[in-house]
Structures are given as C-alpha cells and as structure tokens.
C-alpha cells in the first residue's frame, strides 16, 4: 500500500473481523472543496475500509496473502468526512477461501455512520509479489502496537 489510510488497528479476529482507525488531518493532500469546507472524497473513505480488510487478510495469513479488490456489491455514502475527523473502520468477513475473501463493513465518525459497504470481494494473492514481507510485518507491528494478538 503506497497510500496509507489506516493509522491504527484497534482489534482483529483472524479471518473474522477488524476494527481500525484513520485520523484525518487538514495537511493531507486529498481534500476536495465541499459546500461547507474541505471534505474527504467518498471513494477514499471506501479505500480506507478496504485497506483495513487487506490488513485483516494479511495478518490472518501470517503475511503470506494480500487482498486485491475485485468488486464492491453496494456502497452507501451517508455523510461527509472533514479534517480532524477520526474514521472508525469496521470490517467483517462474510466468506473466505484460499483464493477469495468477501467482507462487509462500515465507516463511522463518532456516532455517525458515513459509509456502509457490502460484498467487498477481493482476490487473495501472494503478498511477496507486491511488498517486501519484512516491511509489511514491521508496519503491522506498528499498526497493532496497542493490540494483543488474537
């Protein structure tokens, strides 16, 4: 992942669920003009959720597999994300095999749900084809530093 949209993994259950977060900052490059000020483009909110799902796949497989997005069944963008918001990323595995994973998820800011997505389908590929396994493991350690292993 070259465009990191997850800052912390709060909890995860192997092949079941992940909860993470992204703390937004006004200094990030992705903000777009909205009616009331800068907003995070909705596709990047979805990308943050998908990145959480990718981390779940990688950690569940001992960093051997990585999720590559194939399709998203349904997405609802329910509200704006503005600088300073903390995105709570909650992804749940619907099904998983050696080759494909399907997840559902939500993104919330405080008590407000800003995105729901269902049937996020990902191909599972060998992680070493995309990233150095040592670098990936180090980043996973940083993201989960406050979480005990499942």
pLDDT (tens place) for every residue of the chain, 150 residues total = 467 899 999 999 999 999 999 999 999 989 999 888 999 999 999 999 999 999 999 999 998 999 999 999 999 999 999 999 999 999 999 999 999 999 999 999 999 999 999 999 999 999 888 888 788 888 889 999 866 555
Q: Three-state SS string across the chain, please?
A: CCCCCCCEEEEEECCCEEEEEEECCCCCCCCEEECCEEECCHHHHHHHHHHHHHHHHHHHCCCCEEEEEEEEEEEEECCCCCCCCEEEEEEEEEEECCCEEEEEEEEEECCEEEEEEEEEEEEEEEHHHCCCHHHHHHHHHHHCCCCCCC
Specify the CATH number for 8-140; select among 3.40.50.2000, 3.10.129.10, 3.40.50.1970, 3.30.1360.30: 3.10.129.10
pLDDT of residue 148: 52
pLDDT of residue 1: 41
Contacts of 113 (CB under 8 A, 6+ apart): 78, 79, 106, 107
């Amino acid at each position: 992942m070259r465009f990191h949209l997850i800052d912390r993994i709060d909890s995860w259950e192997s092949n079941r669920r992940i909860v993470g977060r992204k703390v937004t900052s006004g200094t990030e490059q992705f903000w777009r003009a909205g009616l009331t000020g800068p907003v995070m483009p909705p596709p990047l909110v979805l990308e943050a959720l998908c990145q959480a799902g990718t981390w779940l796949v990688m950690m569940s497989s001992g960093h051997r597999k990585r999720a590559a997005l194939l399709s998203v069944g349904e997405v609802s963008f329910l509200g704006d994300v503005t600088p300073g918001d903390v995105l709570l990323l909650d992804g749940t595995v619907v099904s998983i095999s050696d080759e494909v994973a399907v997840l559902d998820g939500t993104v919330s800011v405080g008590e407000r749900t800003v995105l729901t997505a269902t049937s996020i389908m990902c191909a599972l590929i060998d992680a070493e084809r995309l990233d150095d396994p040592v670098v990936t493991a180090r980043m996973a350690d940083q993201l989960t530093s406050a979480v005990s292993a499942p």
